Amino acid sequence: MSHTPPNRALPWLEPGQAFPPVETAWSASDPAPGLLAAGGVLDVPTLVAAYSRGIFPWYSAGQPILWWSTDPRMVLETAAFRLHRSLRKTLLKLLREGRLEVRFDHDFERVIRACAHTQREGQNGTWILPAMVEAYIRLHRAGLAHSVETWIDGELAGGLYCINLGAMVYGESMFSRQSDASKIALAALVAFSRAHALPLIDCQQDTAHLASLGGRLMPREDFCRHVRMALLHPAPGWNFQPVYWQHILFDDGRSA
């Protein structure tokens, strides 16, 4: 995140103040494309308002809260998810041996704190600061943030956390303590999403790993339109049933 002065001023939000239109976010000619505003608070109403408009918080220690709406946006269409052959093989083996259990919301706080302590390649430190952890714990207690947990041999091996508003899922972060554990959590989220007709998972950041799994870039205008439509639908009940695996293990022609 650059501190170079932009071509125009960055709006400063007071607590409770509405977000500016996403179209006013910094463009490719500015030092931080997609940066929309700074300030505000991380309470539940503000976070719901942000995600409902295609906006998310992302900042580092020593910075104010920074709000982003990138263009284009990295998304994973659940119908386009590619289950690689090696992961399919691992999944089938663990399921056949009875060693794998996927749990939703069993220990959200443990998952988000594990994500916060995961060192990312090319990143110095973490963006999941203590204030962010507490904010998403509040979202979880409000029934809007969820953990997808990979348990192998009775131990938490990896997982991810996400936001769900209506029929829209926003992926946030993942961690892994065993090989493929975070990938299994993502596969479980996709299987759940397919079972409940949730067509899109927001991934925010463009990475080669997400692209290899079927992620693609979507123009912000299209993404925000999709979000508005998804919010018209009810949210599903968050629990994982083993039968959901059939949506990626046996009904899928996109393995690679």
Cβ(159)–Cβ(174) under 8 Å?
Answer: yes
Q: Are 133 and 203 in the same domain?
A: yes
Q: Are 124 and 107 in the same domain?
A: yes
Tens of pLDDT, residues 19-48: 999 999 999 999 999 999 999 999 999 999
The answer to whether position 163 is within a domain reads yes
Q: Are 41 and 96 in the same domain?
A: no
253: confidence class by pLDDT, cuts 50, 70, 90: very low
Q: What is the mean pLDDT of residues 122-140?
A: 84
ω into 72 cis (within 30 of 0): yes
State the pLDDT at residue 126. 66
**Domain residues for 36?**
12-70
State the pLDDT at residue 213. 92
Q: Are 101 and 186 in the same domain?
A: yes
Contacts 24+ apart (CB under 8 A), 10-16: 10/35, 10/37, 10/38, 11/36, 11/37, 11/38, 12/37, 12/38, 12/39, 13/37, 13/38, 13/39, 13/40, 13/67, 14/39, 14/40, 15/40, 15/41, 15/43, 15/46, 16/41, 16/45, 16/46
Residue 41 sits at φ, ψ, to 5 deg, of: -135, 165
The answer to whether position 53 is within a domain reads yes
Neighbour tally for 31: CB within 10 Å: 13
Domain count, the chain: 2
Q: Are 32 and 109 in the same domain?
A: no
The answer to whether position 2 is within a domain reads no
The enclosing domain of 93 has a CATH number of 3.40.630.70
Q: Are 44 and 104 in the same domain?
A: no
Using only C-alpha atoms, the chain has a radius of gyration, in whole angstroms, of 18
The answer to whether position 255 is within a domain reads no
- Is residue 255 predicted with pLDDT exceeding 60? no
Tens of pLDDT, residues 178-231: 999 999 999 999 999 999 999 999 999 888 888 999 999 999 999 999 999 999
Cβ(33)–Cβ(70) under 8 Å?
Answer: yes
Distance CA 56, CA 71 (A): 13
The answer to whether position 96 is within a domain reads yes
The answer to whether position 27 is within a domain reads yes
Last residue of a domain, one of 70, 97, 120: 70
- Is residue 256 predicted with pLDDT exceeding 60? no
Last residue of a domain, one of 36, 54, 70: 70
Distance CA 170, CA 154 (A): 27
The answer to whether position 7 is within a domain reads no
Q: What is the mean pLDDT of the chain?
A: 92
Q: Are 83 and 61 in the same domain?
A: no
Closest CA to 37 of 29, 50, 143, 232: 50
Q: Are 87 and 187 in the same domain?
A: yes
Six token digits for residue 189: 């989220």
Higher pLDDT, 51 or 1: 51
In the chain, the percentage of residues whose pLDDT exceeds 90 is: 86
Six token digits for residue 177: 């303590």
Q: Are 217 and 118 in the same domain?
A: yes
Q: Are 90 and 177 in the same domain?
A: yes
Q: Are 22 and 144 in the same domain?
A: no
Instruction: Report how far Cα 120 is from the mean position of its chain's Cα atoms.
Output: 15
Q: Are 135 and 205 in the same domain?
A: yes
In the chain, the percentage of residues whose pLDDT exceeds 70 is: 91
The enclosing domain of 56 has a CATH number of 3.30.70.3550
Instruction: Report how far Cα 159 is from the mean position of its chain's Cα atoms.
Output: 12
Q: Quote the pTM value.
A: 0.93
Distance CA 44, CA 27 (A): 28
The answer to whether position 230 is within a domain reads yes
